[in-house]
Amino acid sequence: MKLKWLGTAGFQVDTGGQVFLIDPYFSRNPKAKPVQTLQPCDISDTGQIFLTHGHSDHIYDIPAIMAHGGATVYCSEIAAGTLVREGVDKGRIHIVKGDAYKVDFDSYKAEAFFSRHIKFDKELMEQTLLRIGPDYHRLGNMHSQYPAGQVLSWRFTFGRFTMHHFGSGGSTPEELARLATNPLDVLMIPLQGHTHICDIAFEYVRELKPHMVIPHHQDDFYPPLSTYVDIAPFVKAVKERCPSTEVRVMAMNETITL
């Protein structure tokens, strides 16, 4: 299986038989770092798209990607409403209405779990407002047009190999304890949205005990709304306190084979 990080929470997975995307987002803005040269029209061989929630940095490019190929999308109800508003045919949208929703494909299985969005903390909100200044109304308006809806996390199974993707880091201890009952090979965890995100992400690793963790979403995807997140404290904590978990920091558009 080949895994490619697309920036933000986006990944492309090639199982050998099928290609699917998770939270693909390319549009960013001209000041974003790193620069993403891929565009939605470059992605046409995707069978499925799995979405964690409806915020713009997760959902925005899905209508354009779907316009260039035959993909179907799996998401929760509010996000489905956004996609329909943006021109996606209802017949290509599968709505995840319940927890532990399962779908079985030829070369992999996908399972959705109800999760939560991280709560932006006061310090992060203040820093963000200082950065965006007069852009507040435009960016606030964009945010309100893309409501999160029910947040999902996605578990993918390839034979005995299991990979779990979170698009936001708001899971409760109960949610993580429940997910921890299954062994996990690869955890993909977003490091964005909270001043103490390195500590929060570390709790996911401590609880889920994956063989490998891939941090994502730390890139500066939409400045000044975003800023680069220094993930070094997270990497250090995992190496020191969970030495059986390998930390794999990917470069944008890098592909690894698992």
Where does this chain bind Zn ion (CB under 5 A)?
A: 55, 168
- Two tokens, residue 123: 């310090």
Give min distance, CB of 16 to Zn ion, in A. Answer: 31
Q: Which is nearer to Zn ion, 108 or 194 (CB)?
A: 194
Q: Which is nearer to Zn ion, 55 or 155 (CB)?
A: 55
Residues 163/155, Cβ–Cβ less than 8 Å: yes
Tell me the residue type at 113. Answer: F
- Compute the distance between CA of residue 221 and CA of residue 204 in angstroms, rounded to an integer: 23
Q: Which is nearer to Zn ion, 19 or 83 (CB)?
A: 83
Give min distance, CB of 53 to Zn ion, in A. Answer: 6
Residue closest to Zn ion when measured from CB atoms: 55
Give min distance, CB of 148 to Zn ion, in A. Answer: 6
Region of 18 (left: φ > 0; alpha: ψ -120 to 50; beta: rest) is beta
- Compute the distance between CA of residue 77 and CA of residue 79 in angstroms, rounded to an integer: 5
Exposure letters 152-188 (e unless 16+ CB within 10 A, then b): bbbbbbbeeebbbbbbbbbbeeebbeebeeeebebbb
Phi, psi for residue 209 in degrees, rounded to 5 = 50, 55
Give min distance, CB of 91 to Zn ion, in A. Answer: 27
Give min distance, CB of 158 to Zn ion, in A. Answer: 27
Task: With CA atoms as reference, report the closest residue to 7 among 21, 26, 31, 30.
Answer: 26
Give min distance, CB of 55 to Zn ion, in A. Answer: 3
Q: Which is nearer to Zn ion, 28 or 55 (CB)?
A: 55
Q: Which is nearer to Zn ion, 25 or 108 (CB)?
A: 25
Q: Which is nearer to Zn ion, 162 or 168 (CB)?
A: 168
Give min distance, CB of 27 to Zn ion, in A. Answer: 15
Q: Which is nearer to Zn ion, 19 or 80 (CB)?
A: 80
DSSP-derived letter for residue 47 is S
Query: What are the DSSP calls for 151-219, one per residue?
Result: EEEEEEEETTEEEEEESS----HHHHHHHTTS--SEEEEE--SSTTHHHHHHHHHHHH--SEEEEES-S
Residue 77 has a CB neighbour count (10 Å cut-off) of 13
- Compute the distance between CA of residue 233 and CA of residue 227 in angstroms, rounded to an integer: 17
